């Protein structure tokens, strides 16, 4: 379902940044204005609307993504 898919993460260990459009996932979220942009494959740019920390449960372990 779409609710289930919201909680699925694809993690690229070589990525320099990770993104989520779901504010509820953030343990810590700073929504102060930023000049940072996200560039995607179709050459569109999007303004970064927040920077924070997400902790992802992975069985008995946790993975924490920051910034």
Residue 2 has pLDDT above 80, yes or no: no
Number of H helices, E strands in the chain: 1, 5
**What is the model's pTM?**
0.64
- Average pLDDT score over residue span 8-20: 77
Starting at the earlier edge strand, list the strands of the sheet with 61-66: 26-30, 51-58, 61-66
The residue among 54, 36, 33, 53 whose CA lies nearest residue 45 is: 36
């Amino acid at each position: 379902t779409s609710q289930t898919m919201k909680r699925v993460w694809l993690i690229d260990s070589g990525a320099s940044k990770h993104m989520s459009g779901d504010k509820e996932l953030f343990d810590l979220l700073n929504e102060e204005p930023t000049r940072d942009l996200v560039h995607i494959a179709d050459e569109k740019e999007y303004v970064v609307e927040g920077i924070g920390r997400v902790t992802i449960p992975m069985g008995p372990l946790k993975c924490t993504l920051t910034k």
